[in-house]
A and B are shown apart, each in its own frame.
Chain A
Amino acid sequence: MAEAKERKLPAPTVSQETQAYWDAAAKGKLLVRKCTSCGQAHHYPRTICPFCFSDKTEWIEASGKGTIYSYSVMRRAPVPYAMAYVTLAEGPRMVTNIVDCDFDKLKCEQPVKLVFKPTDGGPPLPMFTPA
């Protein structure tokens, strides 16, 4: 049995366009970008809507509720982890990890809730754990 090791998460690169997203993450909030022209939310966030190309987009705070769209436990890693797409209650599906759980019991469509995990010298990452 290999000794349990802590998984070190690299810091995301913050740009002018996404500063507010990561500032909110530091305060434990997940932001989603929503278009006021077509009414649709998207992820990852852009200032110009990828659906209708309007520049009338704004930040909304996500509820933190979602379901697992798909996942895969990366067994062949020094510390195994669960890669996932989570469908947010607000609509978009985001790349994330499922944490603090029994990897063998994960299922598609399972309800999950938002948590944050610290990174190496950067803002924390929004992740999910079974609800």
Chain B
Amino acid sequence: MSIKGKAYIAGIYEHPTRLAKDISLAQIHAQVAKGALEDAGLTKDDVDGYFCAGDAPGLGPMSMVEYMGLKPRHVDSTDTGGSSYVLHVGHAAEAIAAGKCKVALITLAGRPRAEGMATGTVPRSRGGTPTPDEPFEFPYGPTVVNMYAMCAMRHMHEYGTTSEQLAWIKVAASHHAQHNPHALMRDVVTVEQVVNSPMISDPLHRLDCCVITDGGGAIVVVAPEIAAKLKRPKVKLIGAGEFVKTQMGGKVDLTYSGARFSGAAAFAEAGVKPADIKYASIYDSFTITVLMQLEDLGFCEKGKGGAFVSDGNLIAGTGKLPFNTDGGGLCSNHPGNRGGLTKVLEAVRQLRGEAHPAVQVKNCNLAVAHGTGGSLGLRHGSATVILERE
């Protein structure tokens, strides 16, 4: 069974806040759910499937189902970190195709800024019973940034990738963010500014890192017969893939990500090629994340990502592959340190023709959204969806 054409994204909403001091976590989940349902032209009582991940307060989906007054007949709280919500789009389509639900709601919310969380630079123990890997990692001081940095270091060693090439990714994101009134960082930056920003963990500079923001977002995925009755432009899911990449028992290879497999599965299901894609939402926790995923999704040869992203090739209007036209996680929003959901949102805006006019891709009929969650250098979950404007 394939999910191709079995589900549509009918509603989306991105919370405008980037600092949620006076809003609770549950409140953000409900606000974004309300926003996405209103965008679709549906109501809370239409929802019969609910999807959330580890950012939702409570055990799995239960507390949020109660708080929002939902009555789902299908739930899924699979957590693959920031990529969860891309994965949920695929899972929602599977559930819809199997007749388990017709209107699936996916929500994300987080308040790391309001809570003063040291997101990227402090090693974190999960607490409780340790995972089997934790005693062999946590005491050494792995942080979010240094584990991604090791991928960049090895990429530079094997392929000659440079800091200037990585910087182009941030430069492109900043060109897009200037048009997004909600973006946390709206100033256009140069390659020089990126490589001269303070070193956080070699070879990643401060401006190679994404923003830390509060907020959230929601997606409504519906069955074809529901989509047919709604007034919004139709965005059809035609391919989805997921993968968990690990240290493979010590056969560690930092030069590629799980996108190699989740992407291949999604493209095969969709029956399209990377060259057909008009717009790409690519997870951008760090510049290196983007570069590796572009290679692994097949937009360029492995090791040639540095050349591919250079000279503005990712900038809408001038480049061959416009990416993250909302400014992405690098400049606009990374709600709850989980950037997968917002990747889907901007892909839907592009396909609907509702992106900012300055960054709207002409005749945008095919888009990819891809997420990486967890740690690129330790273990991560990859998820890819391919969306088509009908």
Contact = CB atoms under 8 A, between A and B. Distances in A.
B135 A83 contact: no
A64 to B, nearest CB: 16
Interface in A1-47: 9-15, 17-18, 40-44, 46
A81 interface: yes
Interface residues of B, number: 41
Contacts of A14: 135
Interface in A45-95: 46, 49-51, 69-77, 81, 83-85, 88, 91-95
A19 B13 CA distance: 50
Contact of A72 (B132, B146, B248, B249): B146
A49 B248 CA distance: 11
A77 B118 CA distance: 11
Contacts of A119: 139
B215 to A, nearest CB: 25
A96 interface: yes
A74 B143 contact: yes
Contacts of A73: 201-202
B320 to A, nearest CB: 30
A69 B140 CA distance: 16
Given A70-B154, A75-B202, A83 B139 contact: no
A46 B134 CA distance: 13
Nearest to A41: B250
A79 to B, nearest CB: 10
Interface string B170-196: 000000000000000000000000000
A71 B152 CA distance: 9
A20 to B, nearest CB: 13
Report the interface size class on chain A. Answer: 35 or more
B142 A83 contact: yes
B249 A51 contact: yes
A39 to B, nearest CB: 13
Contacts of A77: 121, 141
A83 B141 contact: yes
A74 B204 CA distance: 10
B356 to A, nearest CB: 33
A125 interface: yes
B202 A72 contact: yes
Given A70-B153, A70-B157, A76-B201, A43 B141 contact: no
A96 B140 contact: yes
A41 B251 CA distance: 10
B250 A83 contact: no
Interface centre among A12, A76, A91 (most CB of B within 10 A): A76
A93 B201 contact: no
B151 A50 contact: no
B250 A42 contact: yes
B151 A70 contact: yes
B121 A43 contact: no
A109 B250 CA distance: 16
A93 B252 contact: yes
A111 to B, nearest CB: 15
A70 B150 contact: yes
A71 B150 contact: yes
A51 B141 CA distance: 27
Nearest to B131: A13
Contacts of B254: 69-70, 85
Contacts of B198: 75-76
Contact of A84 (B121, B125, B136, B150): B150
A46 B130 contact: no
22 contacts: A14-B135, A43-B250, A44-B250, A51-B249, A69-B154, A69-B252, A71-B153, A72-B150, A72-B202, A75-B200, A75-B201, A76-B121, A83-B141, A83-B142, A83-B150, A92-B250, A94-B136, A94-B250, A95-B140, A108-B157, A109-B157, A125-B140
Interface of A: 9-15, 17-18, 40-44, 46, 49-51, 69-77, 81, 83-85, 88, 91-97, 108-109, 119, 125, 127
Q: Shortest 4 CB-CB distances between A and B: which pairs?
A: A92-B250, A72-B149, A12-B135, A50-B249
